[in-house]
Amino acid sequence: MTAADPDKTPPDSPEFSRHPDLEWRETVRGSRPGDRFVRVARHRDFKRLRPGLLVPRPGVGEPRSGLGKILTSVRRAVIGSPLTTAQELEERTGKIKGLAIFATDNISSSAYATEEMMRMLALAGVAALSLTLPLTLAVISVLAVVIISDLVVIRTYPSGGGSYAVASDNLGMLAGLTAAAALLTDYVLTVAVSISAAVAAITSAFPLLHDQRVEIALVVIAFMTILNLRGIRESGSVFAAPIYLYLATILGLLAYGSFLALTGGLPKYQAPAENLAGWGTEPLALLLVLRAFASGSVALTGVEAVSNGVPAFKPPEVRNAQITLITMGVLFATIFLGISFISSQAGMVPDPTESETVLSQVARLLVGAGWYYYLVQFATALLLAFAANTAFNGFPRLAGILAGDRFLPRTFQFRGERLAFTTGIISLSLVSGLLIILFKGSVTSLIPLYTIGVFIAFTMSQAGLVRRWWRLRESEKGWRWRIIINGLGVSVTSVVTVIVAVSKFFLGAWMVLVLMPVLILMMWQIRRHYQQLESITRPETPLAPDKIHPRVVVPIANLGIPARQAVAFAAAISSDADVVGVHVTDDAVTAEGLREQWEAAYPRIPLVIIESPYRSLSGPFLSYLDALMETHPDDTMVVVLPELVPSHWWENLLHNQTALRLKTALLYHPGVIVASVPYHLAQQAEMEASS
Amino acid sequence: MTAADPDKTPPDSPEFSRHPDLEWRETVRGSRPGDRFVRVARHRDFKRLRPGLLVPRPGVGEPRSGLGKILTSVRRAVIGSPLTTAQELEERTGKIKGLAIFATDNISSSAYATEEMMRMLALAGVAALSLTLPLTLAVISVLAVVIISDLVVIRTYPSGGGSYAVASDNLGMLAGLTAAAALLTDYVLTVAVSISAAVAAITSAFPLLHDQRVEIALVVIAFMTILNLRGIRESGSVFAAPIYLYLATILGLLAYGSFLALTGGLPKYQAPAENLAGWGTEPLALLLVLRAFASGSVALTGVEAVSNGVPAFKPPEVRNAQITLITMGVLFATIFLGISFISSQAGMVPDPTESETVLSQVARLLVGAGWYYYLVQFATALLLAFAANTAFNGFPRLAGILAGDRFLPRTFQFRGERLAFTTGIISLSLVSGLLIILFKGSVTSLIPLYTIGVFIAFTMSQAGLVRRWWRLRESEKGWRWRIIINGLGVSVTSVVTVIVAVSKFFLGAWMVLVLMPVLILMMWQIRRHYQQLESITRPETPLAPDKIHPRVVVPIANLGIPARQAVAFAAAISSDADVVGVHVTDDAVTAEGLREQWEAAYPRIPLVIIESPYRSLSGPFLSYLDALMETHPDDTMVVVLPELVPSHWWENLLHNQTALRLKTALLYHPGVIVASVPYHLAQQAEMEASS
């Protein structure tokens, strides 16, 4: 409490009592008669940090009653209490957890890579399945090339070398956007494919659920969306469990199988007659082999995660990331090779109806339908779900970066109450859910769309690096061997891109190839729009207050309280002579009655009555406005609308159509300022109830 | 051209140059050097009738380019050029045309009344069809009673005695609303039933079209909607043709049939086996007879049209209307009786699949499938279509009257470019089209819903008259016999109402009995809402300009041109100290940069920065507004929003969400005036293109 001389600072002086800082002074009486103090008071809802700087106190702005409060409670229960920006965690990760975070997406592909190759080969008959193992080795060679190239990327971009960044950095905007479009589609497909594969792992174990696979997948996506809107921390230890569980169970299974195979004890798979009958209609042409190879190259999805995430590693970041990348590659290759090897040895035939996965067949063959079998299926499904989750992390983050570069709407940059990129998360779940519905949750149908984005992104970033080394050939020492490594990378990945695009074109790759240019064009247009916005130079209404001479037009239907509020406001913001009431009518008699009322109420404000012979209201009003703007080119037009705000939605049907139509039409009149003077019917109803 | 001394009336004196009448004076040079005149100029778009009274010149306000122009051309081509209110025709009608206008609806019922009775009776077996003729006589007796009562109505309400008017006048609002609800449902069903019956007449002649009957009916409704939006004149002579064609062909057919029957030459109907097999599963209980009677009482639909339309007759109106009513009753009774008589004599059995109407069977039996048969079918279909059209006239007119009494939204009162009640016409065609789809265009399924509304309306108006005579028993001489006539009327119609309601309850009458109270409640609520509106007494913002002390809040995201326009407008409508810019942010550093810019640009306008730790923008802004309103209770709050108006709809996705969210949220803040200062991106684009 600040005591002051009340006579010196008069308590109701406008400087203090009306400060927009919400600080004001009030006079309080002291304990002795005649004592008066001036107290500096502050508002209970805001804390004033400095003059002109406020912070709302906790809980301010939350709905205090009714539906809003219920909705807020539900939202809090589902996605949690809001987090402040300062609460963001910036935790670094070691190699063990790093593997869990960045390798999940890639290693999870091992659950279906072998199977997808076999499904292609089996189209040429069961005998063609003998090509599974050679093709596996071919894919692993490509993987090796990409991983070696990526080691260079990690070293070159320790701040995180996403394909978008590397490509825009070295090859320009178009290449960057191509990489971005490829990555965005890739993330969407990661969710669709991984969730579908996770559901397939579950329905393999519980065939009764097979017909509900789309519904199950959608529930999983919804659950994942909520988790991500809550802003789950991928650095949490819970994230490490699934991959190590999967590695342990699968490597155990494969070790046991290999032992059986080497000792000659591996059982032969007895394919049901319908499995055999479902296959083998096409000749084993080169196209089919290429398609099988393309399907297998799904093995490379998720490899880019490590090089994107270098800054998340503990120092030495580059070295830790490189070791993680190599470990990931070795583990993946081992599992992939192991599954292909045992499948081939056991004479596995995939199920043409997609009711059971090959991995499930292998596990069932080796260990029977016991606890270990269910453990394998559970670990697989869990890992795949977590793999989908990496896309829930990557997509919104990339979309946020693109929005920051003005290639996507700004809303993708906005982080919600829990610091999650709300728009990105919801967009991802909607699009991937739609894909699952369209493709009926079939991994095999989705695969042709999947791989192409991955390889386009690889090609872009490798090409970017080749360009970079060539550019830096004067200054950088080791540019020669680097250009060789990345040159090999770009050759291999571009060849695979072409193989995937051509061989899978009619199976669905065309969709991605059509969609990508559309996405690129869209992002380019968005940027153009924002740039146009930033280059605004000519104002529509004056930029200096003294240049504004308001000419105020008030459409009048009658002289009820809402209309009189509007006229009063109009007169308050200008002089009476610059206000005009406009009444459009097809009934001259009633109009003259209105004029009499008007002249009695507002003797100094003109009223213009427009007779509309065709009964149209907004048309003549807008024409009049145009005419007025033309005859008063130096004035700033202001239309003051009396607006009724109904207390129930259905009441909107009963009136306001004219006001609404006018408001919409005025949107297309440049330079017209529209002021709505509201009247709330709810208030009126409350007042009536209380009186 | 008015010459005047330029020095005496300075050409740019504000009184003249800025008159809102669009009249201004401009200086023109004369032919000799130094000559100057002041010319009174008027705007090319408006004609000034008197000071303050303008009329737009023809064509003003029509879109001059692009999509709007195309849409206008299409609308003109479909519904015609606009008509002025003065162009309304007020033509009186004689007895010949009067019969055509007012009797079409009623007489068209003869096309299906016999058949619907027979369909009910046949449920108890073909033998039960012998009751057709007695039931026909019973229905005709009811008709006679109603017509006699209606003669009294005509005499009592020569200005048009609709059930709604008579019931509200004598029994109060609830009875009036009951009659109104009954009439509205009745009109809808008139369209649905008549169009279905018209299509049945056509598909009887061309059975191949039977499966498309719903589609045909919808096309007919669409066509009729367009015709009525064009505002067809029911007084046109074209309207008289169908009924006289129908009367001639049907009476001719019946005369020929009766001659054959009396001379013993009437052929016996050979019912196909499937016709016989389709019937006769129920016992002939009283309920079934009552149902047949209820079906037959559809014969009374449309009777009320004459008493509604008395003022349209040439003088002596009452006498002409009464003669028309009696003529209508006699003609209807003759046809109804004739069809029932010949059907009974010939042993007609209705077709259980509703593929052929009984009238078609009768015509085919009597004259074979020759030209006269097709003439009968054509005349029937045409008359039924015109009968539907009477509902297109009655429904919008009644809805307009109800809207005038504030029981329906005002838009029902609005007459479009062609003087037609657009909303009523479109509502009627939508609801009746929906009914036809739901009931698959079956007359028999629709009938149970139809008659009940008619009889409720009759009962209400007859009861109203009984009440009236009792009230006027002192002053009115002939009250005794009038009370007897209308008392008989109300007894008969109320008994029939109960018969229809009970016997047809489960067949569909329940829908009407549920719908009517809903309609009544809705109309009552609408009236209540409008009354609440008219009783507004307490303003939200002051009604006198000098009571308004604006406190203007401008939300600021950056200091681009749109924001600076808004600040300038804010400062122009108040003093600098009463304006405050508000910037909500979670980024204190950027915010301080903005503050520096702001202080350089607006040294005398305060900027308040609100740090929003949870990144929410509108929440803290609205809380601040609340706080400001609380600390400045005597000020009028004005929020000035910089608003970007994009040139393409998709650009709305790129921004404006915050402005939009704020605008919506501000709707729930009573007493806050919202002014939008627009910036049109299209303008900017044009400017760029031209520069």
Q: Which residues contact B642 (CB under 8 A, 6 or more apart)?
A: B554, B555, B562, B563, B565, B566, B659, B677, B679
- Tens-place pLDDT, residues B373-401: 999 999 999 999 888 888 888 888 889 88
Residue B199 vs residues A357, B189, B436: alpha-carbon distances, Å: 58, 15, 11
Cα–Cα distance, B145 to B331 (Å, whole number): 16
Better pLDDT: A129 or B160: A129
- Tens-place pLDDT, residues B553-566: 999 988 888 899 99
Cβ separation of A52 and B86 shorter than 8 Å?
Answer: no
Mean pLDDT computed over B630-639: 88
Q: Which residues contact A234 (CB under 8 A, 6 or more apart)?
A: A101, A389, A390, A393
Mean pLDDT computed over A151-160: 84
pLDDT surpasses 70 at B158: yes
pLDDT surpasses 60 at A426: yes
Which of A415, A565, A583 would best serve as a mutation to test chain B binding (most B beta carbons within 10 A)?
Answer: A565
pLDDT surpasses 80 at B16: no
Q: What ranges in B504-546 are assigned the alpha helix state H?
A: 509-534
Which of B13, B17, B18 would best serve as a mutation to test chain A binding (most A beta carbons within 10 A)?
Answer: B18
Q: What per-residue confidence (pLDDT) applies to B430? A: 95
The alpha carbon of residue B77 is apart from the nearest alpha carbon of chain A, in Å, by 17
Answer for the pair B296, B136: CB distance below 8 angstroms, yes or no.
Answer: yes
Give first-to-last CA distance, chain A, whole Å: 40
pLDDT classification of A9: cutoffs 50, 70, 90: very low
Answer for the pair A620, B92: CB distance below 8 angstroms, yes or no.
Answer: no
pLDDT surpasses 50 at A74: yes
Mean pLDDT computed over B610-631: 82
Q: Which of A9-23, A187-201, B123-137 has the highest mean pLDDT?
A: A187-201
Show residues of chain A in contact with B624, CB under 8 Å. Answer: 22, 46, 54, 56
Can you read off the two tokens belonging to residue A390? 């990496």
Task: With residue A379 as reference, give the H or E element that holds it.
Answer: helix A371-404
By Cβ distance, the residue of B18, B644, B673 closest to A632 is B18
Helix H, strand E, coil C: the string for A215-234 is HHHHHHHHHHHHHHHCCCCC
- Tens-place pLDDT, residues A17-73: 456 777 666 666 677 777 766 666 677 777 777 777 787 777 776 666 667 777 777
Which of B402, B561, B639, B683 would best serve as a mutation to test chain A binding (most A beta carbons within 10 A)?
Answer: B561
Show residues of chain B in contact with A541, CB under 8 Å. Answer: 565, 568-569, 677
Mean pLDDT computed over A432-440: 93
Ramachandran region of residue A606, left (φ > 0), alpha (ψ -120 to 50) or beta? beta
Closest alpha carbon to A644 in A681, A682, A686, A687 = A681
Q: What per-residue confidence (pLDDT) applies to A3? A: 43
Taking every pair of Cα atoms in chain A, the longest distance, rounded to a whole number of angstroms, is: 110
- A–B CB contacts, 8 A cutoff, strictly below: 332
Cα–Cα distance, A628 to B43 (Å, whole number): 9
Quick check: helix, strand or coil at residue B537? coil
Q: What per-residue confidence (pLDDT) applies to B11? A: 42
Answer for the pair A306, A163: CB distance below 8 angstroms, yes or no.
Answer: no
Handedness of CA A498, A504, A505, A511 (dihedral sign): negative
Closest alpha carbon to B334 in B268, B264, B260, B247 = B247
Q: What per-residue confidence (pLDDT) applies to A1? A: 39
By Cβ distance, the residue of A83, A619, A632 closest to B61 is A619
Answer for the pair B386, B242: CB distance below 8 angstroms, yes or no.
Answer: yes
pLDDT surpasses 80 at A246: yes
- Tens-place pLDDT, residues A574-591: 887 789 999 988 777 888
The alpha carbon of residue A55 is apart from the nearest alpha carbon of chain B, in Å, by 5
Backbone angles phi, psi at A356, to 5 degrees: -135, 140
Closest alpha carbon to B159 in B390, B321, B329, B302 = B321
Q: What per-residue confidence (pLDDT) applies to A64? A: 63
Q: What per-residue confidence (pLDDT) applies to B64? A: 63
pLDDT surpasses 90 at B541: no
Q: Which amino acid belongs to residue A201?
A: A
Q: Which of A307-311, A634-638, B367-371, B536-540 has the highest mean pLDDT?
A: A634-638
Half-sphere exposure at residue B633, Cβ-oriented, CA atoms within 13 angstroms: 1
Mean pLDDT computed over B664-678: 86
User: Of how many residues is chain B composed?
Assistant: 691
Better pLDDT: A337 or B2: A337
- Tens-place pLDDT, residues B593-619: 999 999 999 988 988 888 877 777 778
Quick check: helix, strand or coil at residue B528? helix
Q: Among A582-596, B231-245, B313-327, B347-361, which is the least confidently predicted range?
A: B231-245
Cβ separation of B20 and A608 shorter than 8 Å?
Answer: yes
Cβ separation of B411 and A657 shorter than 8 Å?
Answer: yes
By Cβ distance, the residue of A18, A410, A685 closest to B532 is A685
Q: Where are the beta strands (DSSP E) in A590-668?
A: 607-611, 636-645
Q: Which residues contact A424 (CB under 8 A, 6 or more apart)?
A: A395, A396, A397, A399, A400, A412
pLDDT classification of A671: cutoffs 50, 70, 90: confident
Answer for the pair A637, A671: CB distance below 8 angstroms, yes or no.
Answer: yes
Quick check: helix, strand or coil at residue B25? strand
pLDDT surpasses 60 at B690: no
Percent of chain A at pLDDT exceeding 90: 25
Q: What per-residue confidence (pLDDT) applies to B637? A: 92
Show residues of chain B in contact with A410, CB under 8 Å. Answer: 654-655
Q: What per-residue confidence (pLDDT) applies to A5? A: 44
pLDDT surpasses 60 at A294: yes
Closest alpha carbon to A25 in A14, A33, A34 = A14
Q: Where are the beta strands (DSSP E) in A521-622?
A: 550-555, 579-585, 607-611
Cα–Cα distance, B659 to B661 (Å, whole number): 5
Beta bridge partners of A25: A40
Q: Where are the beta strands (DSSP E) in A284-419?
A: none
pLDDT classification of B217: cutoffs 50, 70, 90: very high
pLDDT surpasses 70 at A655: no
Q: Among A68-72, B188-192, B525-529, which is the least confidently predicted range?
A: A68-72
Q: Which residues contact B257 (CB under 8 A, 6 or more apart)?
A: B266, B338, B342, B346, B362, B366
Question: For all residues of chain A together, what is the average pLDDT?
Answer: 83
Quick check: helix, strand or coil at residue A180? helix
Q: What per-residue confidence (pLDDT) applies to A542? A: 84
Closest alpha carbon to B299 in B241, B339, B344 = B339
Cα–Cα distance, A396 to A291 (Å, whole number): 32
Residue B517 vs residues A354, A480, B496: alpha-carbon distances, Å: 57, 88, 20
DSSP A313: B
Q: What per-residue confidence (pLDDT) applies to B674? A: 92
Question: For all residues of chain B together, what is the average pLDDT?
Answer: 83
Mean pLDDT computed over B495-513: 87
pLDDT classification of B79: cutoffs 50, 70, 90: low
Answer for the pair B389, B191: CB distance below 8 angstroms, yes or no.
Answer: no
The alpha carbon of residue B312 is apart from the nearest alpha carbon of chain A, in Å, by 23
Quick check: helix, strand or coil at residue B350? coil
ipTM: 0.73
Cβ separation of B53 and A609 shorter than 8 Å?
Answer: yes
Which of A551, A624, A649, A680 would best serve as a mutation to test chain B binding (most B beta carbons within 10 A)?
Answer: A624
State which residue of chain A sits closest to B591, comparing Cα positions: A53
Percent of chain B at pLDDT exceeding 90: 24
Q: Which residues contact B461 (CB under 8 A, 6 or more apart)?
A: B153, B161, B162, B163, B166, B167, B179, B304
pLDDT surpasses 60 at B236: no
Percent of chain A at pLDDT exceeding 70: 88
DSSP A161: -
Beta bridge partners of A637: A551, A672
Cβ separation of B572 and A667 shorter than 8 Å?
Answer: no
Q: What per-residue confidence (pLDDT) applies to A89? A: 57
Q: What per-residue confidence (pLDDT) applies to B12? A: 45
Q: What per-residue confidence (pLDDT) applies to A338? A: 93
- Tens-place pLDDT, residues B300-315: 888 888 888 787 788 8
pLDDT classification of A240: cutoffs 50, 70, 90: confident
Mean pLDDT computed over A465-474: 88
